[in-house]
Chain A
Amino acid sequence: MPGLGASFGRGGATDFLQALQHADCILIEGSNMAEAHPVGFRWVMKAKERGAKIIHVDPRFGRTSQLADVHLPIRAGTDIAFLGGLIRHVIENEAYFREYVVSYTNAPTILREDFQDTEDLGGVFSGFDPQTASYDTTTWGYAGDGAAAQRDDTLQHPRCVFQVLRRHFARYTPEMVQRICGIDSEDFRAVAETLVQNSGRERTTTLCYAVGWTQHTSGVQIIRAASILQLLLGNIGRPGGGIMALRGHASIQGSTDIPTLFDMLPGYLRMPHARAHAVTLADHIESGGRARGWWAYYDAYLVSLLKAWFGDAATAADDFGFAHLPKLTGNHSHFATMLRAIDGGVDGLFVMGQNPAVGSQHSGLQRRALASLKWLVVRDLSEIESATFWKDGPEIASGELRTQDIATEVFLMPAASHIEKEGTFTNTQRLLQWRDKALEPPGDARSELWFMHHLAKRVQAHYAGSTRERDWPICHLTWDYPECGVLREPDAEAVAREINGYDVSTRAPLPDFTALRSDGSTACGCWIYSGCFRGGVNQARRRDPGDIAAPGGWVSPQWGWAWPLNRRVLYNRASADPAGRPWSERKRYVWWDDPAGRWTGYDVPDFPVDKRPDYQAPADALAMDAISGDDPFIMMPDGRGRLFAPSGLLDGPMPTHYEPLESPLPNALHPDLDANPAAIRWQRPENPLHTTGDPRYPIVATTFRLTEHHTAGAMSRNLPWLAELQPEMFAEIDPALAADRGIEDAGWLTIETERGEIEALAKVTPRIRPLRIDGRLVHQISLPYHWGFAGEVRGDSTNDLGALSGEPNVSIQESKAFTCNVRAGRRAGPATARLADARLDRPVASDEDDPAAEYPSEIT
């Protein structure tokens, strides 16, 4: 999500699914939407019925491609080259939306003199330290900050963002796109023109993406490239425009909003870092807050969180308990934790609704890590692989591990299903929807809410009365949720009320986050969700679609509740021109009502509702006073969308094409570099990576989802209907490659990497076709990843093939592009037997953290 956050201010899809019907063009890339989000795709089809052009860019011709007007096959992992080509096309042909770009983006802002581009430094930006493979981002700043910012609205100054961007992408020509992506330059030009023709005052284009963009070592920068393109075309904040991030799980957006992620606190506040900003609350707030723009209220949000957690014990005199929070010293992500477990540094692990034994990248390593734990708690609906690795994993079959020797104590706890508990999911469009409880869970099955509540009570009872400083957060943790029914289920609405926030003295629910204060008078568990219990009403439980035929009725603002403040299209101030008038009647959405003196429209305006469009911020203004009436990106200190991101990213202020960590080809743009120089490689014997161009692994592998299965299959392989529809693991390979290797359609093939080998049935099909790149034929294979060694239908796990790798900003792995080899026939032995010897001579557990894996010190 940092890609969207660093560009616009918030880490969420800018639009909502129903808004897709009003797009004039939809570019779907990094997503197999028709198969992975079938019901969401109906809104793409609605747009098509209304005449919109649908473009699908994907290595594989799937159902999405079938229903699109255009399908461009692309080499997996080269999306920045493609999007960079579009950016160049828009700039060089002066096809950008000039008034939008000058007024609403940082295109005119002048950069520091000492900034140097990848084009000047052979592929890295200024500030790169090859020793640590990381950047000092100082030189990426503006020439003057805040009131001292310098701008050139003619966009001619050589150091203005627009000119820097133009030079940065100058080499991303259609011919270069063809050379890197394998896309015919004429096909590319046609798509570029389609986007241009369907953007501007009268028309809007939406981009849709999913994990086909995020799961790369440059994943955040791919989304940055999309953001830059949409800002240049003037498509952000407008109906039928924006960037639709398609999340893959019912509440993946919610899982980052209220993060079970190591580096964040609820609402995208930062976990304190031991070195950078943990000493005092004031230090932390100063490093996280902003003098200008919405983040100026960071202190109110953090103090209100501490009040929600520590209640009366959180006092101003004691920094509201801030100093008691645990502190980061580096990368403590899932992969780092599992490597620590292999080294014997983790006693226990809770796995709730996850299945790392087949669902996480490099599953063979994950299973070995599970076998290194002292105890493991798995909570799920059925006996998933992560709970049974000790008796039927491939490492048991190979003899590498013996069941009797695995010391891991395993608790497999039956979980409640989605209809056996109540609570909210946050969907892909930031919409919170409450589920009522239809049934009691069977037997000893319980919700995670129940589990955490009753675990907390036991832990608090154990530490009751302790005066040790380390126990202060446990002893003072507010935990008074009422229990309901014979199962003593905690009241989910009581938790939701705490998330919404309340007045500390009256316990009255807060109307929204504008009521939050930094003096300890308010408590709020997640500031961006404040308002979800406005007026004491569970807003997420609302089920009124409204009159969808009325003007703007398709927004359905009374159905559920979207963060922030029930806004459905983010940055919607930008749907009006600087003077506050709709850019066109056709794209009317939010506008300034001058007689009434307020912003109005079909949605909740994403702007101070009574701030006049002609308000000009005084030079010394602070907080929201520093945001002028024509600055639509209110989370940003200057109120502008970022073509160039001076902060918030660790691997560059602008996207640059790098090859995937594993690629058959060298980097055509930067021959001295292959992959993202800041990528995390987790270099260990257990995690061998293929070098660029390794002749043993000449084929590009990518992964995809089937409609009938869900992720690693724990929620689909045991369902008889779904299991029958997609019973077996298969691989899609092209006819030329199949002929070359003697692989027959419906026959077996084996796919191998240094991590493991798996077998699958071959689907020999032109759906995946070789691309001619630089005079060479590059073959790609496409793998679903839904199978494992337990469940009603079983099969080899694609995740046994991949290596651990990390995008620098978010540590996501590169599972959408890696190299492999294929051969006819079944595998020779258990999947990951080849790694058995790699576990010898491993290092002892270390508290030291990899300095190259530091985390962003800034929010925006």
Chain B
Amino acid sequence: MPGSRPGARPSAFERARRLPILGRTLDWGMGPSAASSLTHEAGSRIAGLKVTESVCPYCAVGCAQLVYTRDGELVDIEGNPRSPINQGTLCPKGAASRQLIQQPGRLTKVRYRRPGGTEWEELELEQAMDMIAARVIAARENGWQEVDRQGWRVDRTLAFAHLGGATLDNEENYLIKKLFTAMGAIQIENQARI
């Protein structure tokens, strides 16, 4: 609790607060007395919820987050007070990260734009995966280079490329590098140099 942390409030203030009647006036508009009866009755909206430990996806400070969910619904994301890095705090982006998940316009279906198309169409996920696999295989076949123009062995394709973000997980990056390198792609990049 923030109020019980040593040094959070001057001790002189704490002593004055304990005075019989005058002390009570010091609490006007502060601490527990700041909450309305409605708030008291409603209680904490994260009380009793499932808590999952996570990490903020924005900058690289690595603030630990606590994700509160109820029956598969996200209720809130807060800073983890046990983290030695952020000690419970989050910046405006981290504090807003619930809205990253629940943002207006969050995609839940595959959108497909055919060549020359003027509108999005919907695709089933499995069909989209089949189509993407067919295209990356075709690109590899069409663009395969065994040797370059000087006759040096290159065993590669330049016909497809990857550009990744730096908010992907290490495990994800590992599979990207592993599969695409095995397929002969070398144009595998991310925003580390962008």
Contacts and interface: CB of A to CB of B under 8 A. Distances in A.
Contacts of A412: 107, 110-113, 120
A432 B91 contact: no
B60 A248 contact: yes
6 tightest A-B CB contacts, nearest first: A353-B165, A443-B108, A427-B62, A423-B169, A326-B156, A249-B166
Interface in B125-174: 125, 128-133, 135-139, 142-146, 148-149, 152-174
Query: Which of A256, A380, A390, A423 has the largest number of chain B CB atoms within 10 A?
Result: A423
B176 A452 contact: yes
Interface in A539-587: 543, 545-546, 548, 554, 556, 559-560
Interface stretch (A66-74, A167-175, A259-267, A630-638): A259-267
Query: Which of B53, B109, B130, B169 has the largest number of chain A CB atoms within 10 A?
Result: B169
A18 interface: yes
A439 B67 CA distance: 9
B100 A413 contact: no
B82 A543 contact: yes
A447 B172 contact: yes
A473 B157 CA distance: 13
Contact of A456 (B85, B146, B175, B185): B175
20 contacts: A39-B61, A39-B89, A255-B191, A278-B153, A328-B186, A348-B159, A374-B139, A380-B107, A413-B128, A431-B62, A436-B52, A449-B175, A455-B132, A455-B179, A459-B179, A708-B93, A715-B57, A719-B100, A811-B193, A847-B148
B166 A407 contact: no
Contacts of B93: 707-710, 715-716, 722
A518 interface: no
B83 A545 contact: yes
Given A433-B64, A448-B176, A495-B175, A438 B113 contact: no
Interface in A6-24: 17-18
A507 interface: no
A345 B139 CA distance: 11
A406 to B, nearest CB: 7
A94 interface: no
B29 interface: no
B58 A455 contact: no
B112 A411 contact: yes
Interface string A494-509: 0110110000000000
B128 to A, nearest CB: 6
A617 interface: no
Query: Which of A334, A415, A529 has the largest number of chain B CB atoms within 10 A?
Result: A334
Contact of A361 (B86, B136, B194): B194
A382 B194 contact: no
Query: Which of A251, A408, A437, A455 has the largest number of chain B CB atoms within 10 A?
Result: A251
A452 B191 CA distance: 19
Contact of B69 (A274, A340, A438): A438
A349 B163 contact: yes
Given A249-B191, A455-B129, A443 B109 contact: yes
A492 B171 CA distance: 6
A559 B67 CA distance: 18
A403 interface: yes
Contacts of B129: 451, 454-455, 458
Query: Which of A278, A332, A525, A719 has the largest number of chain B CB atoms within 10 A?
Result: A719
A792 interface: yes
Given A354-B163, A407-B116, A411-B128, A334 B189 contact: yes
A829 interface: no
A418 B54 CA distance: 8
Nearest to A348: B160
A473 B182 contact: yes
A246 interface: yes
B166 A250 contact: yes
A199 interface: no
B17 interface: no
Contacts of A346: 158-161, 187
Contacts of A275: 152
A420 B53 CA distance: 12
Interface residues of B, number: 117
A407 B133 CA distance: 19
B46 interface: no
Nearest to B118: A403
Given A260-B173, A462-B133, A350 B163 contact: yes
A391 B168 CA distance: 28
B111 A258 contact: no
A470 B140 CA distance: 10
Contacts of B55: 250, 418, 425, 427, 433, 435
A765 interface: no
A352 B168 contact: yes
B106 interface: yes
B84 interface: yes
B119 to A, nearest CB: 8
A423 B171 contact: yes
A407 B113 CA distance: 10
A337 interface: yes
Given A428-B61, A707-B92, 18 more contacts: A252-B191, A260-B190, A261-B192, A265-B181, A327-B155, A334-B194, A346-B158, A414-B109, A423-B169, A425-B60, A433-B62, A438-B52, A443-B108, A447-B169, A458-B129, A458-B130, A459-B136, A792-B105
Contacts of A492: 169, 171
Contacts of B142: 347
Nearest to A417: B101
Given A326-B156, A453-B175, A390 B184 contact: no
A431 B84 CA distance: 12
Contacts of A428: 59-62
Interface string B57-87: 1111111100101001110010010111110
Interface string B29-71: 0000000000000000000001011111111111110010100
A287 to B, nearest CB: 15
Nearest to A274: B152
B162 A352 contact: yes
Query: Which of B111, B137, B143 has the largest number of chain A CB atoms within 10 A?
Result: B111
Interface string A693-718: 00000000000000111110001101
B62 A429 contact: yes
A440 interface: yes
B194 A359 contact: yes
Interface string A382-397: 1100010011000000
A377 B129 CA distance: 10
A405 to B, nearest CB: 7
B99 A253 contact: no
Contacts of A548: 84
A719 B193 contact: no
